[in-house]
Amino acid sequence: MEIFWFVVLTFMLGIYVVLDGYDFGAGIVHLFFAKTEQEKKAVTNAIGPFWDANEVWLIASGGVLFFAFPTLYASSFSGFYLPLMLVLWLLIFRAISLELRGQVHHRLWEALWDKAFGLASLLLALFFGAALGNVVRGVNLGMVENGVSTQEPHYFFLALWNPTFDPLAEHQGIIDWFTVILGLVAVVTLTIHGAGWVILKTSSTLNNRLKNIIFKLNFVLLVLVILSAYVWHYVKPISLNNLQNHYWLWIFPLIATVGLLGQFWIRTFKKDGTGFMFSSLFILGSFATTVASMFPTLLPSTNEVNPSLTIQNAAAHEYGLSVGLGWFIFAAILVVAYFIIQFRVFKGKLDDVGYGEH
C-alpha cells in the first residue's frame, strides 16, 4: 500500500506542476513580455477560467501527504515553515491580483496589481524549484551537531539561508547555490510552459513573439539542465543508482529529453498546442526522473545518525491506507468528471472570455 500511495502522491504533484505551472509561467510572461493592455488581457484570459481549479491539486496533494505519510508531513511542515509561509502569501497575492485589478479602472491601480501578479508568479516558480532542490539535497534530520542528535529523529528546521551559502554545510539554509540553480531551472521551464499555454489558448499578437522567446529561452534551459545535473551529482553522488540498477527507468529522462529538444522547433509547429505538449513532457519527465532516482527515499538525511524518511518509515498504518483507498477512488472519479466538464466548457481559444473585467 505504501508504494500505491507514493505513486498517487507523485502523480498528483506532477499534475499540479503541469497545470499550475502554466499559471506561474503565464504570470512571468505577463510581467516581462506583455506590453500592451490587449496582450495583458490575452494572458489573463488564457488562465482565468483555470487557475483556481489548478491550485486544488496542491491542496489535494497536501491531504494525501497528511493521510498517507504523516511523519513526512509533520517533518516537512515544521522544517520548511518559513518558505511555506512565503509560498502561502505569494499564492494569496497572485489570486487577489487577478481579482482586484479590474475593480478600479485607473492606470496606477492596474499597474500595481499587474506587478504583484507577475512578481508573485516569478517568486513562486523560484521557490518551488528551490523546494525541490532542498528535497534532493536532503536535510539534517534530528538537528545533529558534533555527531549527537539534539532533536527527534524526524525533526529539522531550516533558516532561509546560511552564512556560507553552502549546500553541504552542517547548518543548512533553504537558499544556497544548489537550490538557487534548481530555482532558476524552474523559472525558465515554467516561463516556456506558460508561454506555450498562452499560444494554445489565445490568438493574440503576442504569440509570434512568444515563439521566438521560447526558442531563445530553450538554449538557456539546456545549459541550466546540464549544469543542474552536474551539481546534483556533486551534492548527491549516489543519486543515479536507481537508474543504473533499473534500466527501464531511463524512459523518464528520455521523455524529458524529447520535451526539451522538441521546443527548439517551436517556430515551425503548425498546431498551437504542440509547444505546450513538449513543455509538459519535459516537466513530467524531469519530475519523474527525480522521483525515480530517489525512490524509496522521500526526504534524505544528510547525517549518519538518523535515517532518511522513506515510504516505509514515514507511512501511516496499513489499515488506514487500505480504508482510504475506497474514498480515494470516489474522489478521483469526481475530480476527473469536473476537469472533463471544465475543459469542455472552455475548449478552444479564450480571447473573448474577458476575465477580470467588472
Is residue 351 situated within a structural domain?
Answer: no
Q: Mean pLDDT for the chain?
A: 89
Report the alpha-carbon distance of residue 280 to residue 201 in Å, rounded.
15
Nearest to 300 by CA among 146, 129, 136: 136
| Whether pLDDT at 143 is above 70 | yes
Reported residue count of the chain is 358
First to last CA, the chain: 49
Report the alpha-carbon distance of residue 44 to residue 254 in Å, rounded.
33
* More confident of the two residues 344 and 123: 123
- Can you give the pLDDT at residue 10? 94
- Can you give the pLDDT at residue 241? 79
State the residue range of the domain holding 102: 2-345
Is residue 350 situated within a structural domain?
Answer: no
> CA neighbours within 13 Å on the CB side: how many for 231?
20
Report the alpha-carbon distance of residue 256 to residue 258 in Å, rounded.
5
- Can you give the pLDDT at residue 303? 85
- Can you give the pLDDT at residue 305? 85
Is residue 216 situated within a structural domain?
Answer: yes
Is residue 356 situated within a structural domain?
Answer: no
Question: What backbone phi and psi angles, to 5 degrees, belong to 284?
Answer: -65, -40
What would the mean pLDDT of 188-192 be, rounded to a whole number?
97
- Can you give the pLDDT at residue 357? 58
User: 72-90 pLDDT, tens per residue?
Assistant: 999 998 899 988 999 999 9
Among 112-121, 282-291, 314-323, which stretch is predicted with the lowest mean pLDDT?
Answer: 314-323
Q: Name the grid cell of 203.
A: 490568438
Q: Quote the crossing angle between the two packed helices 274-294 and 177-201, to the nearest 10°.
A: 150
Domain count for the chain: 1
- Can you give the pLDDT at residue 254? 96
Indicate the burial class of 88 (C-beta count within 10 angstroms; 0-12, 13-18, 19 or more): exposed
- Strand 173-175 vs strand 159-161: parallel, antiparallel, or unpaired? parallel
Residue 355: pLDDT band by 50, 70, 90 thresholds? low
Q: Quote the crossing angle between the two packed helices 81-100 and 70-79, to the nearest 10°.
A: 80
Under a CB-based contact definition with an 8 Å cutoff, are residues 125 and 25 in contact?
yes
Report the alpha-carbon distance of residue 176 to residue 190 in Å, rounded.
21
Is residue 307 situated within a structural domain?
Answer: yes
Report the alpha-carbon distance of residue 20 to residue 53 in Å, rounded.
9
Under a CB-based contact definition with an 8 Å cutoff, are residues 84 and 77 in contact?
yes
Residue 16: pLDDT band by 50, 70, 90 thresholds? very high
Alpha-carbon dihedral sign for residues 228, 232, 234, 240: negative
- Can you give the pLDDT at residue 74? 92
Report the alpha-carbon distance of residue 139 to residue 72 in Å, rounded.
12
Best-predicted range by mean pLDDT (100-104, 288-292, 345-349): 288-292
Best-predicted range by mean pLDDT (109-118, 317-326, 337-346): 109-118
Is residue 170 situated within a structural domain?
Answer: yes
Residue 153, preceding bond cis, omega within 30 degrees?
no
- Can you give the pLDDT at residue 354? 67
User: 234-284 pLDDT, tens per residue?
Assistant: 888 767 778 888 888 899 999 999 999 999 999 999 898 999 999 999 999
Is residue 250 situated within a structural domain?
Answer: yes
Report the alpha-carbon distance of residue 123 to residue 120 in Å, rounded.
5
Is residue 154 situated within a structural domain?
Answer: yes
